[in-house]
Structure 1
Amino acid sequence: MLWRDKKISGGALSAATAIWVLFELVGYHLLTFVCHGLILSLVILFLWSKACTFINKSPPRIPEVSIPEDQAVQAARTLRYEMNRAFAVLREVALGRDVKKFLTVIAGLWLLSMVGSSVNFLTLVYILFLTLHTVPVLYEKYEDKVDAAAEKAMAEIKKQYAVLDDKVLSKIPRGPLKDKKH
């Protein structure tokens, strides 16, 4: 991702661009693409295997692929853990225990809905890929300037939150907290 190997990074960027052009601009669909790719692969391997019997050569070696159970279980556990963590955060926000987190989640969801209403999902994934492929390189190159600008931005955000807290959030009436019974 940091373009240490320019051929691999350029190849990945080219492949992502080709996939985006294929699906977004040409109008090809993912399921159709996968099925056509599998059909082409199977036809080539089938014809290769049949041709090898006619010319007395060994057929192609196709490895046997299987997913180990422990890796599948570990992936499922990791997914379950992350989903439970997300549900816990959403529950905490819904219970109203942290106003700052509530506002952050609401702002993030609103921003995501605005982006989602104006950008196709595949285009969003492509933009995310491009961002993840270029931003680390730019950050590494201009780290000092970016850090200074980020410090200024965080100071301004904290100042604006303090104003919001002083003028709006502190005036929201809150009832007395009740002891939890277990």
Structure 2
Amino acid sequence: MAAGEHNHESSYVDSAKEKITEMFHDDGSSSSSSDSDAKAKAKEKKTFPVPPKKDKTSWKEKPVHTLLGGGEAADIFLWRNKKRSAGILGFATIIWALFEMIEYHLLSLLCHVLILVLGVHFLWSNTLNLFYRCPQFPQVALEEDTVLQAALVLRLEINNALEVLREIASGKDLKKFLAVIAGLWIVSIAGSCCNLLTLVYICFVLLHTAPLLYERHKDKADVCLEKAEAEFKKHFDVLQERVLSRVPSRQVKDKKLA
């Protein structure tokens, strides 16, 4: 009996030892797995997304469609759909001719359009239905989502324009600042020669003709643009040497204050 009890106790002790070792082994494996998971998470936190590489290709190497922003607007300006482009340009020409050549007024045009629409609606609803079974006059309504989307796009474009003007006015890029000043000066001279509607119409016609001509004669146009760019750079270097180099910059002021 003593030997049997001794064997039973030893087997019980061995099984208890095995359970304890298994428990420690499980704890070690779980702790090692948790440590590996923590290290993997730490590595994931430390890795930052790589920013996309900037496109260093010159604007001369890009297609004209890409320079115009792509999409339907670029297709219209490059006459991909000739009927649509001709229709838009013809409509703009009619509007310009009404206001400039015939000297039509905007208020008169709005009133006459409303009279025409109301007359057609009246005839459609009352007279034609007596003789023919005409469908109902279509309802015209602006959807809320469309108006909100248009307002959001307009807001983003205005904010982007204001941000660009702010960067230009900060003086970080002197060439861009002088180019904008020269462009505004040219526009002011053009505005003194003609009114706003004519100036907008001229710009609209140029958008429908200049990109198309540039795309067809790109090689010759690039040569002329390179010559103009070299001439502008030469004059800018002279201006910078004689005038702009004498103006103290912000960096020099900061160094003196430091």
TM-score (norm 2): 0.61
CA deviation map 1:150-174 (0-9, x unaligned) = 1221122122211211111111134
Q: CA deviation at 1:5?
A: 4.1
The aligned counterpart of 1:121 is 196
Q: CA deviation at 1:178?
A: 3.8
3-state SS of 1:20 partner: helix
| C-alpha separation in 2, matches of 1:125 and 1:61 | 35
**For the structure 1 residues 7 and 66, does the alpha-carbon distance in structure 2 shift closer, same or farther, using more than 3 Å as the test?**
closer
In the alignment of these two chains, the number of paired residues is 178
The aligned counterpart of 2:112 is 36
1:67 lines up with 2:143 in the alignment: yes
The aligned counterpart of 1:81 is 156
CA deviation map 1:91-131 (0-9, x unaligned) = 34444444333322221221111111111111111111211
Larger Rg: 2
3-state SS of 2:79 partner: coil
How big is the alpha-carbon RMSD for the aligned residues of Structure 1 and Structure 2?
2.4
Q: Match for 1:165 among 237, 240, 252? A: 240
CA deviation map 1:50-71 (0-9, x unaligned) = 01342252343313422233x3
Q: Quote the sequence identity (%).
A: 50
The aligned counterpart of 1:17 is 93
1:155 lines up with 2:255 in the alignment: no
**For the structure 1 residues 53 and 93, does the alpha-carbon distance in structure 2 shift closer, same or farther, using more than 3 Å as the test?**
closer
The 4+ residue runs of structure 1 with deviation greater than 6 A are none
TM-score (norm 1): 0.83
Structure 2 portions without partners, runs of 5+: 1-76
Q: CA deviation at 1:38?
A: 1.8
Higher RCO (CA 8 Å, separation ≥ 6 residues): 1
The aligned counterpart of 1:107 is 182
Structure 1 portions without partners, runs of 5+: none
